[in-house]
A and B are shown apart, each in its own frame.
Chain A
């Protein structure tokens, strides 16, 4: 990776060491990211990776931020999602508003926040308080949540939540919230579309981590598992496919860190992620189907990432970008 320098490599190693030393992926998936982990992430400057230093953040450049997302995602995508939510979604939601004042507490891990990026339609009533139910909130234990209800609104907790079992990003609490809460409109326009479009590279970094984690596990397994008297790495169809996938991983890393074109990169990432995560499960045979091997989580998170963040809308944006015009589809 010619475009990554020594400092970038040191950062990568730092995140890896941090994960190995401090995080227990299975425990986090079962017990969720708690205050302790939040504080740890904050103390290393990961939580506020992109937040300005005047608010106690690390104010990192894009490459460093993407290395952090990639490496955490490779270990446990839930952690990357948490950092992404703060830096790619919450930060641009509150920037240039009075709610910038929350940022010091956010980057120090004292304030847990969330952004609803899943819902497109809301049935909410507004008076002094906002009332109604919002489904599919990730990180429901947040103290305040940003909603894109045609505007950009911040709703203050505490929230009455109903937790649901959710197969994706299991380290974060997920469920619905029943609102009868104070709110403030922080922008009369919804910032969602722009925020999402601006986060393509960030999401690609998370996808890259999932891809890289899945391939690493599969390749390692292929070196130690024997079938029919030979190591898996000696079987053509399996190794040809893994090698092809490894090439894709490195193409993705290269286009991401050279900042080629966020639309191409995102499209490439989303078109590779599920197939690769799935094949890693396959390579592990029956073991791949059990959480002990830490590989099925990549498949779960991969399909959620793709299903939630990539669809017709994103394909339209890609096409508009390529045709350099806003296309009208029949």
Chain B
């Protein structure tokens, strides 16, 4: 699948191998620093093409295969764009061009300290006052939180019997008074990515900052996750492939031939292949505008678990040789794949619900 992009894939891989050297990856991982120059570079050579979802998928996979911390850093400044693309007004859609061109960094703020899985129960409020909305509350673990120029934010605009009914999405400029971002440090992995805790203190939003219709925010975010999860599956697939690269290099360089190890690599390879088929299959429906959320969630959960499995196997098979920073970094990066954009448990809820609904 996606064979027509083989040349593009090669180009991306070359960029990754050239720019994401072990030294660079280690530096940004250790320092927990966002590599803004790589974001700019990735744009200047035109490897990020936000108009073609298949290309996005491939670039994420190939860059995360080289290093997920850097790979995610350069492919995530557009995070949340689909909400604007699908539901935004003309001005917001136009604004997206500035995001795609790299002028602005975007992010998406849904999770709060009190809960990430349970989106409907968020506590941030946007209270209507005349033709303004006043935003109050906080967000937790927001990628790009401290570097973003704009954020897509989910907030409660009304109290309804069903909690997911009173939510709305807004496009928020981080320059506005009342916005504060506190960079979070001490992550296990993907340490080059920027993560922050945000506080909103009486931020004044205009009515044209509302994305789509009031009260529809929950649905917009769920629709967004049904798209973005395919890209997380691609991140995970890339990590698994990167771990497998290390395993193969090690086995070949050390001429390891014992049967137990052969069986282990067969298992890792099989799971990666299955994750790939699942991801590409789900992606092909999505990119034809015939999304099958259960397939997307299966791909995200399975690829996430495969990333973790392959990275743990890399550690175990390489034994003391795994202590090299660029192998253990893969292990540390992999674990986030089972957490963000729906934990594996949340994906299982989505999968079973869709199946039972017969969709």
Q: Which residues of A contact B (CB under 8 A)?
A: 118-120, 136, 164-168, 174, 226-229, 235, 237-238, 274, 278, 281-282, 285-286, 288-292, 296, 299-300, 303-304, 306-308, 310-312, 315, 329-330
- Report yes or no: B111 in contact with A167, Cβ–Cβ below 8 A: no
Inter-chain CA distance A46–B141, complex, in Å, is 40
**What residue in chain A is nearest B257 (Cβ atoms)?**
A330
Stretch of B4-12, B50-58, B320-328 lying at the A interface: B320-328
Residues of A within 8 A of B111 (CB): 286
Partner of B339, one of A164, A168, A237, A289: A289
In the bound complex, residues from chain B placing their C-beta under 8 Å from that of A289 are: 187-189, 335-336, 339
Flag the segment in B64-72, B204-212, B258-266 that touches A: B258-266
> 24 pairs across A/B with beta carbons < 8 Å?
A136-B320, A136-B323, A226-B114, A226-B115, A235-B345, A238-B345, A274-B312, A278-B335, A282-B339, A282-B343, A285-B117, A286-B111, A286-B140, A289-B336, A291-B187, A292-B186, A300-B188, A303-B312, A303-B331, A306-B315, A306-B316, A307-B319, A308-B323, A312-B258
Interface status of B318 (Cβ within 8 A of chain A): yes
Whether A285 lies near B339 (C-beta < 8 A) is: yes
Complexed CA–CA distance, A274 and B308 (Å): 11
B335: A residues at CB distance < 8 A:
278, 281, 289, 296, 299
The answer to whether A229 touches B121, judged by C-beta atoms less than 8 angstroms apart, is yes
* Chain B residue at smallest Cβ distance from A270: B316
Instruction: Give the complex CA separation of A299 and B308 in angstroms.
Output: 12
The reply to whether B259 and A330 form a contact with Cβ atoms under 8 Å apart is yes
User: What is the minimal beta-carbon distance from A225 to any residue of chain B, in angstroms?
Assistant: 8
Q: Are A303 and B315 in contact (CB under 8 A)?
A: yes
A229 to chain B, nearest CB (A): 7
What residues on B are CB-neighbors of A329 within 8 Å?
258-259
Complex contact A307–B315 (CB within 8 A): yes
Contact (Cβ within 8 A) B117 A119: no
Tell me the count of chain B residues lying within 8 A, CB to CB, of chain A. Answer: 42
Contact between chains at A312 and B260 (CB < 8 Å): yes
Q: Is the CB of A278 within 8 A of B308?
A: yes
Residues of A within 8 A of B338 (CB): 282
CB of B344 within 8 Å of the partner chain: yes
Q: Which residue of chain B lies nearest to A281 when distances are taken between CB atoms in the complex?
A: B335
Question: Which of B115, B121, B259, B319 has a CB less than 8 Å from the CB of A308?
Answer: B319
Task: List the 9 closest A-B pairs by CB distance, nearest first.
Answer: A291-B186, A118-B320, A307-B315, A296-B188, A286-B141, A228-B118, A227-B118, A303-B315, A167-B328
Assess whether B116 is interfacial by the CB under 8 Å rule: yes
Contacts of B30 in A (CB 8 A): 165
Give a binary string over B150-168; 1 marks a CB under 8 Å from any A CB, 0 the rest: 0000000000000000000
> Chain B residues with Cβ under 8 A from A228's Cβ?
117-118, 121
A136 to B318, CA, bound (A): 13
Q: Which residues of A contact B118 (CB under 8 A)?
A: 227-229
| Partner of A300 from B140, B184, B332, B348 at Cβ < 8 Å | B332
Residue from A226, A237, A290, A311 within 8 A of B345 (CB atoms): A237
- Distance from A267 Cβ to chain B, minimum over Cβ atoms (Å): 14
Measured between beta carbons, the chain B residues less than 8 angstroms from A291 are 186-188
- A227 partner, pick from B115, B312, B316, beta carbons under 8 A: B115
A299 touches B319 (CB 8 A): no
Beta-carbon nearest neighbor of A286 in chain B: B141
Q: A282-B344, A289-B336 are in contact. Are A164 and B117 (CB under 8 A)?
A: no
* In the complex with contacts A291-B188, A299-B335, A307-B322 CB distance below 8 A: yes
User: Roughly how many angstroms separate A229 CA and B318 CA in the complex, as a whole number?
Assistant: 44
Given A285-B339, A290-B186, verify A119-B320 contact (CB < 8 Å): yes
State in angstroms the CA–CA spacing of A307 and B319 once bound together. 5
Most A-side CB within 10 Å, residue of B140, B260, B323, B339: B323
> Contact between B116 and A286 (Cβ–Cβ < 8 Å)?
yes
State the CA gap A136–B340 with chains docked (Å).
33
Q: Are B260 and A299 closer than 8 Å at their CB atoms?
A: no
**In the docked arrangement, what's the CA distance between A228 and B118, Å?**
5
Complex: A180 Cα to B117 Cα, angstroms? 56
Known: A237-B345, A291-B188, A329-B259. Is A165-B339 also a contact (CB below 8 A)?
A: no
B287: shortest Cβ distance to chain A, in Å?
A: 29
- The answer for the CA separation of A296 and B333 in the assembled complex, in Å, is 12
Q: Which residue of A lies closest to B259 (CB)?
A: A330
Closest residue of B by beta carbon distance from A297: B188
Residues of B within 8 A of A292 (CB): 186
Pick the most buried of B118, B188, B316, B335: most chain A CB atoms within 10 A of its CB.
Answer: B188
A225 vs B68: C-alpha distance in the bound complex, in angstroms?
30
Residues of A with C-beta under 8 A to B184: 290
Identity of the chain B residue whose Cβ is nearest the Cβ of A117 in the assembled complex: B320
CA distance A229 to B331 in the complex (A): 33
Check B319–A165 contact: CB distance below 8 A.
no
Which B residue sits closest to A138, measured CB to CB? B323
Instruction: Determine how close the nearest CB of chain B comes to the CB of A300; give it in whole angstroms.
Output: 7
Do B339 and A288 touch across chains, with their CB atoms under 8 A apart?
yes
Instruction: State the CA gap A40–B140 with chains docked (Å).
Output: 39
Bound CA span A300–B331, Å: 9
> Nearest chain-B residue to A230 (Cβ)?
B118
Q: Which residue of A lies closest to B186 (CB)?
A: A291
User: Quick one: given A165-B325, A307-B318, are A290 and B339 in contact (CB under 8 Å)?
Assistant: no
Cβ distance B262 to chain A, nearest Cβ, rounded Å: 11
User: Smallest distance from the beta carbon of B183 to chain A beta carbons, Å?
Assistant: 12
Residue of A nearest to B344 (CB): A282
Residue in A166, A167, A229, A286 with the greatest tally of chain B CB atoms within 10 Å: A286
Residue of A nearest to B345 (CB): A237
Q: Who on chain B is nearest to A29 by CB?
A: B186
Measured CA separation A307–B322 after assembly (Å): 8
Residues on the A chain within 8 Å of B325, using CB: 164-165
B261 near A312: Cβ-Cβ < 8 Å: yes
Indicate whether A299 sits within 8 Å of B320 (C-beta atoms), given known contacts A285-B343, A330-B259. no
The residue of chain A having its C-beta at the shortest distance from the C-beta of B30 within the complex is A165
Complex CA distance for A95 and B139, rounded to whole angstroms:
58
Q: When the two chains form the complex, which single residue of A274, A296, A308 contacts B320, counting CB atoms closer than 8 Å?
A: A308
Q: Which residues of B contact A238 (CB under 8 A)?
A: 345
